[in-house]
Amino acid sequence: MSGYVHETLEQFARATQAVIPCECCGHFLLSAENKNAAPAAYAMADSAWKRGAFGGASLEEIRVAMKGVLRKAYYLCPSCSPD
Ligand SMILES: [Zn+2]
Protein backbone atom coordinates (compact mmCIF):
# COMPACT_ATOMS: atom_id res chain seq x y z
CA MET A 1 0.00 0.00 0.00
CA SER A 2 1.47 3.31 -1.03
CA GLY A 3 2.18 6.15 1.34
CA TYR A 4 -0.33 8.24 -0.54
CA VAL A 5 -3.14 5.79 0.23
CA HIS A 6 -2.13 5.59 3.86
CA GLU A 7 -2.00 9.37 4.20
CA THR A 8 -5.37 9.81 2.57
CA LEU A 9 -6.97 7.21 4.82
CA GLU A 10 -5.40 8.83 7.85
CA GLN A 11 -6.92 12.15 6.78
CA PHE A 12 -10.34 10.49 6.57
CA ALA A 13 -9.87 8.97 10.02
CA ARG A 14 -9.03 12.43 11.37
CA ALA A 15 -11.86 14.15 9.47
CA THR A 16 -14.43 11.78 10.95
CA GLN A 17 -12.68 11.93 14.32
CA ALA A 18 -12.20 8.19 14.37
CA VAL A 19 -8.70 9.17 15.50
CA ILE A 20 -7.71 12.43 17.13
CA PRO A 21 -4.27 13.97 17.57
CA CYS A 22 -3.09 14.01 21.18
CA GLU A 23 -4.24 17.29 22.77
CA CYS A 24 -0.99 17.55 24.62
CA CYS A 25 1.72 16.96 22.03
CA GLY A 26 -0.34 16.84 18.82
CA HIS A 27 2.01 14.20 17.51
CA PHE A 28 0.47 10.79 18.23
CA LEU A 29 -2.98 9.83 16.96
CA LEU A 30 -5.30 8.55 19.65
CA SER A 31 -8.29 6.30 19.25
CA ALA A 32 -11.50 8.31 19.71
CA GLU A 33 -14.22 6.98 22.01
CA ASN A 34 -16.76 7.41 19.26
CA LYS A 35 -18.31 4.22 17.92
CA ASN A 36 -19.93 6.02 14.99
CA ALA A 37 -16.68 7.48 13.77
CA ALA A 38 -15.07 4.32 12.37
CA PRO A 39 -18.03 3.46 10.09
CA ALA A 40 -17.98 7.07 8.87
CA ALA A 41 -14.27 6.76 8.11
CA TYR A 42 -14.88 3.54 6.15
CA ALA A 43 -17.73 5.23 4.27
CA MET A 44 -15.44 8.10 3.25
CA ALA A 45 -12.83 5.61 2.08
CA ASP A 46 -15.45 3.70 0.07
CA SER A 47 -16.71 6.79 -1.73
CA ALA A 48 -13.18 8.03 -2.46
CA TRP A 49 -12.41 4.58 -3.87
CA LYS A 50 -15.53 4.78 -6.07
CA ARG A 51 -14.24 8.11 -7.40
CA GLY A 52 -11.00 6.37 -8.33
CA ALA A 53 -8.93 8.20 -5.74
CA PHE A 54 -6.78 5.15 -4.99
CA GLY A 55 -5.77 4.13 -8.49
CA GLY A 56 -5.64 0.37 -8.95
CA ALA A 57 -6.17 -0.65 -5.33
CA SER A 58 -9.15 -2.90 -4.67
CA LEU A 59 -11.87 -1.86 -2.25
CA GLU A 60 -10.85 -4.75 0.00
CA GLU A 61 -7.28 -3.44 0.10
CA ILE A 62 -8.55 0.03 1.00
CA ARG A 63 -10.70 -1.34 3.83
CA VAL A 64 -7.85 -3.42 5.20
CA ALA A 65 -5.59 -0.36 5.06
CA MET A 66 -8.20 1.73 6.88
CA LYS A 67 -8.45 -0.92 9.56
CA GLY A 68 -4.68 -0.64 9.93
CA VAL A 69 -4.91 3.13 10.36
CA LEU A 70 -7.58 2.77 13.06
CA ARG A 71 -5.74 -0.06 14.83
CA LYS A 72 -2.53 1.91 14.91
CA ALA A 73 -4.13 4.65 17.03
CA TYR A 74 -3.18 4.66 20.71
CA TYR A 75 -5.51 4.62 23.70
CA LEU A 76 -3.05 6.64 25.73
CA CYS A 77 -0.44 8.89 24.22
CA PRO A 78 2.91 7.09 24.56
CA SER A 79 4.65 10.44 24.85
CA CYS A 80 2.38 12.26 27.33
CA SER A 81 0.75 9.60 29.48
CA PRO A 82 2.65 8.47 32.57
CA ASP A 83 2.82 4.69 32.85
ZN1 LIG B 1 0.82 13.40 23.47
Say what percent of the chain tops pLDDT 70. 98
Say what percent of the chain tops pLDDT 90. 86
Distance 58 CA to ligand 1 centre (A): 34
Flag whether pLDDT at 1 surpasses 70. no
For residue 2, the model assigns a pLDDT of: 73
Half-sphere exposure of 80 (CA within 13 A, CB side): 14
pLDDT tens for 20-51 read: 999 999 999 999 888 899 999 999 999 999 99
| Rg of the chain taking only CA atoms, in angstroms | 13
Mean of all residue pLDDT scores within the chain: 93
Ion ligand 1 neighbours (CB, 5 A) are 22, 24-25, 77, 79-80
